[in-house]
Amino acid sequence: MVLGKEVANIISEGNFTFIEINCTPDRFESCFSKMEFITAFHYMQDLMKKIPVKPISFILPESIYSGKSEEFRMYMENRRKIHSRRGATEMEMEFEREFRNMSRNSQIKCGTMSLFDSMDEDMQGFRENIIFTGFNTEIDIMYNVMIAADRGFLPIVLSDGVSSPWEMRHFNALEMISRFSYVIDTRDVMELMGDHI
């Protein structure tokens, strides 16, 4: 994918607010795409230091799909059984160690599912363009991207910088999000910044 000129300029000029949602080790542990996420998250953290843009990290309350529904509990229990038989791979454990070391930004705890409810007084600190990363794609990310678009911000979602325990829900959510937000891949950002190998 070639980035449109508008998005390319936003990124190359550092004209955006970078939002991390629920970037905690327990949320990372349950995501299906650890390798893609850790690569995207690591690259974007390094880029934020160069540009410089300070990430803002939010922790949202757990939704019903983040641990309280029977369907989710059964799904996670089945995954634990599979992992207990074969054990976590060395690569998975390394990704989780690396993520724990990286996710050290101070985090704003929100009382509602909308990060904007916690930030109403400080919204003037937000740039009009917002890049989203974090968990879970189909609930927390999609909901906040919709609110951002509704409030007049231009949302951009990193497709490999968001994830979910459910692969199909993740990709379905990205398809839905693409109707009211830009959806880009970190590799597009790398190429734009001259970091593409």
The CA dihedral of 19, 21, 27, 28, to the nearest 10 degrees, is -10
Q: What is the pLDDT of residue 1?
A: 45
Domain that residue 164 falls in: 5-192
Is pLDDT above 80 for 70?
no
Structure tokens at 17: 């607010």
Structure tokens at 23: 């970037």
Residue of 153 and 85 predicted with greater confidence? 153
Least confident piece of the model among 7-11, 42-46, 115-119, 169-173: 115-119
CATH number of the domain to which 156 belongs: 3.40.50.850
Q: How many separate domains does the chain show?
A: 1
Q: Please, which pLDDT band fits residue 99 given cuts at 50, 70 and 90?
A: confident
- What pTM value is reported for the model? 0.82
Q: What is the pLDDT of residue 148?
A: 94
Q: Is residue 197 part of a domain?
A: no
pLDDT in tens, 20-59: 999 998 888 888 888 899 999 989 988 998 888 888 989 9
Indicate the residue type of 135.
F
Q: What is the pLDDT of residue 97?
A: 77
Averaged pLDDT, 55-67:
75
Is pLDDT above 90 for 110?
no
Could you tell me how many residues make up the chain? 197
Q: Is residue 150 part of a domain?
A: yes
Question: Residue 191 burial (CB < 10 Å; 0-12/13-18/19+)?
Answer: middle
Q: Please, which pLDDT band fits residue 145 given cuts at 50, 70 and 90?
A: very high
Is pLDDT above 50 for 104?
yes
Averaged pLDDT, 135-161:
95
Q: Which residues, in sequence order, are CB contacts of 113 under 8 Å at separation 6+?
A: 60, 61, 63, 139, 140, 143, 144
Max CA-CA distance within the chain?
A: 51
pLDDT in tens, 172-183: 999 999 999 999
